[in-house]
Chains A and B, each alone.
Chain A
Amino acid sequence: MRFTANVRRKLHVFFLAVFFVMYVGYLLFDRLDDDSKMGLQIVQNHAEAFPTKSSEVDALILGGSNATFGFSAELLSQLTPYRFYNLALIRNGFNPPEHIRFLMSITSKTDRDRIKRIVFSTVQVLRPLPFDDFTMRVDGYSKSFIEPSRSILGFIYDRLRAKQQFKVTGEYGDFDFTHFNCVFNSSNVTFSPPPVNVAVDYIKDYVDAYKIMFVNAQIIVVAPTEYDLHPSLRNSYVNQLSSELKKLGIQLIAQPAVKDLGLICDESYHPNAKGRIVRTRQLADFLLPM
């Protein structure tokens, strides 16, 4: 009886040790596995391409994936007097400190002084809280040393699915749709934004940071286009947000909701290649008289 208890106890400790070693092994693998990091490729593409083009660039597109998918810096450069570069990041770089740190690392003081116009497009202010994920780095790695960016189960699940490539082109930083499969995964959008004052504070923090970094730039905030069959709630919220921002001297361009799924990629706020042209032209129409 005592012998069995001892064996059981040793087996218990043995398996605990096995799980521990397995976990540490996976943590190391997770640090080395670039494929799993959402947005890493975009960050790398920007880091390689932007410095070579920065001397030409005098306008930036910033924000989250809505801007990555939704704006073409190339088309915008043709339609306006500015040379745009799309520096938007997946999930806006996960949180403000990571986003700002990335911009600081990729641009020099001379680059920043050259920038005359910034378009900041964020869907976060139209979404429920919390906005930011402070556990992540801009490149999609977990900040925590004891937790992986993705679970072992998540890793296996992703490996079984078709791989999507988030990639941008070097010249303008525009999203490359050729390796991305646009399958829409939502049929109905629930519009549940945060309180207006929370959204205003969120935008103001970003605008204040941009004003310090890009001293010569005019900053324009964009509420992005979204697929929404019942846009009345959205419209009244955006109008309210716009008037509150106006009081602070911040200009908000509200891009209209769309009802045509033919313009949408995988998310309600991710236009496809065709939708990107429509959205970019709309933005250019707004920007030209300014």
Chain B
Amino acid sequence: MAVLYSVPVYFYPLLVNIFVIALLCLLPYQSIIPYLIFFSISVTSFLGITKTLTGLQSESINAFLFGLPFYSAYLAYKLLKRDISWRDTFVASNPLLLFTGPVAIFFRPIRYSAIHRRLNQYFPFMVIGVFFFKIIASPLTKFLPMLALTDVGNSITFAFIYELFVYFNFAGLSLIIYAVFGILGIKIPLNFRQPFSSRNLVEYWKGWHLSLSGVLKELFYSPIRKKTGTTVAVFCVFISSALWHGMTLNFVMWGVFHALFYILSIALLKRNYKYVVTVLMLFAIVVGRLLFSDSDTDRLLLKLMPFNGASPDFSLFKKIPITSYLSLMLAVIVVSAEFVFAKKKYFRERSYKFLRIPIIQLTLVALAVVMVSATAGVDYAVYGQR
């Protein structure tokens, strides 16, 4: 669909003008404007101007549109809160935030000013961020051609690896930016809070892409819940989130799927089915990512049929370098530690404290030194660069 409706670059100014005029016409109905701005990324995705988040490297042709999802979400949030000033325009268009996220739903000075204190506090986040992004996520890009494989085993394996890739790429960049701004004396949201330290899907979403969750809560969840109740509100949140990710059928399927499992998890939690919700969470994460990863509808439907006749193909695995397998192993270790020790001392705050212990920091640095290479994989921002 995106290709069908792709718009030549020289029409962009015209589209921007139409958009601005439409906004001006809607001034009497101010409450609609934040929603229009929020969904502008869905419109550009529908028109083919920006890409969707597919399983392979996806970069928009026009570099000026990098970060449009973060920009539009930020402005929509600020407009809704009626807390917007000229300063926010500069915050929203900060290249670091546009390139990697998070949506800066707050951006305020840190109270204590001594640089050594800020370094002590934020440098460990920088180490974790670089380790996540460069040592774990980038080599995992070598697994991305698995997207083309349709047999059930490889499809599920790819979904699992892609979940890890998106997490370590996006969380890594978010942690780097969090540390950079922290060292400079500015507090921005910590975008990820050990999502795999969760025991159910509700907790998981409290740890994943928190800045967007904050925007979605203000824009959709709170107002809709007041009028119609939780179920409809949850569906609206996930469908809106899906459309923010891209205007393709797979994202709508992903949104509906996660909304259903989220509501089911709430219902089961009320009945105290603790272990069932944990199993549901793991199932929803992997199958959800399977839906999320492939915007080729025909291929996705084939993958969703377990007995589709596709024979398992393992030849790709032989071509993947050993460093990528090492990165995959490290990814599994970190995620397993988050999950298994969730209630332990260094884990329960859900702020990567276990990775900020000095000896662990040294280990991360040592691993980075022996594993970093320009050719290990592709460095790109999975969320910003589309």
Residues of A at under 8 Å CB distance from B?
A: 8, 12, 15-16, 19, 22-23, 26, 128-130, 133, 135-136, 142-144, 147-154, 157, 185-190, 192
Contacts and interface: CB of A to CB of B under 8 A. Distances in A.
Interface stretch (B194-202, B250-258, B261-269, B367-375): B367-375
B329 to A, nearest CB: 12
Contacts of A149: 373-375
B358 A12 contact: yes
Given A19-B365, A153-B326, A185-B319, 9 more contacts: A8-B358, A130-B57, A130-B378, A144-B374, A147-B374, A151-B376, A152-B370, A152-B371, A188-B315
B254 to A, nearest CB: 22
A150 B315 contact: no
Given A16-B362, A128-B145, A129-B57, A186 B373 contact: no
Contact of B318 (A8, A157, A186): A186
Given A8-B358, A128-B145, A188-B314, A147 B373 contact: yes
| A16, A149, A151, A188 — most chain B CB neighbours (10 Å) | A151
24 contacts: A12-B358, A12-B361, A19-B366, A19-B369, A128-B144, A128-B145, A129-B56, A135-B375, A136-B374, A136-B375, A147-B372, A147-B373, A148-B372, A150-B373, A150-B375, A151-B371, A151-B376, A152-B369, A154-B321, A185-B318, A186-B318, A186-B319, A187-B315, A187-B318
Contacts of B56: 128-129
Contacts of B316: 190
Which 5 A-B residue pairings sit nearest by Cβ, starting from the closest?
A192-B148, A142-B374, A151-B373, A147-B374, A188-B315
B148 A128 contact: yes
Contacts of A190: 145, 148-149, 313, 315-316
A8 B359 CA distance: 10
Contacts of B369: 19, 22-23, 26, 152
B322 interface: yes
Contacts of A151: 323, 370-373, 376
Interface string B345-386: 000000000000010011001100111111110100000000
A186 B372 contact: no
A16 B318 CA distance: 35
Contacts of A152: 369-371
A149 B374 CA distance: 5
A161 B294 CA distance: 38
Contacts of A22: 369
Contacts of A154: 321-323, 373
B145 A142 contact: no
Interface residues of B, number: 31
Nearest to A16: B365
B319 A148 contact: no
Nearest to B380: A130
A269 B358 CA distance: 48
Nearest to B141: A130
A148 B373 contact: yes
Contacts of A19: 362, 365-366, 369
Given A19-B369, A128-B145, A157 B322 contact: yes
A192 B145 contact: yes
Contacts of A26: 369
Interface in B51-65: 56-57
A190 B369 CA distance: 34
A8 B326 CA distance: 30
Contacts of A129: 56-57
Nearest to B311: A188
A15 B362 contact: yes
Contacts of A188: 313-315
Contacts of B313: 188, 190
Interface string B307-332: 00000011110110111001000000
B268 to A, nearest CB: 40
Interface in B13-67: 56-57
A170 B313 CA distance: 41
Given A12-B358, A128-B148, A148 B374 contact: yes
Contact of B315 (A142, A143, A153, A189): A189
A210 B369 CA distance: 41
A233 to B, nearest CB: 11
B148 A153 contact: no
A157 B323 CA distance: 10
A138 to B, nearest CB: 14
Contacts of A153: 323, 326, 370-371
B49 to A, nearest CB: 17
A246 B323 CA distance: 42
Contacts of A185: 318-319
A189 B323 CA distance: 22
Interface string B161-195: 00000000000000000000000000000000000
Nearest to A23: B369
Nearest to A135: B374
B145 to A, nearest CB: 4
Contacts of A148: 372-374
Interface string B124-164: 00000000000000000000110111000000000000000
Contacts of B318: 185-187
A243 B103 CA distance: 46
A155 B144 CA distance: 24
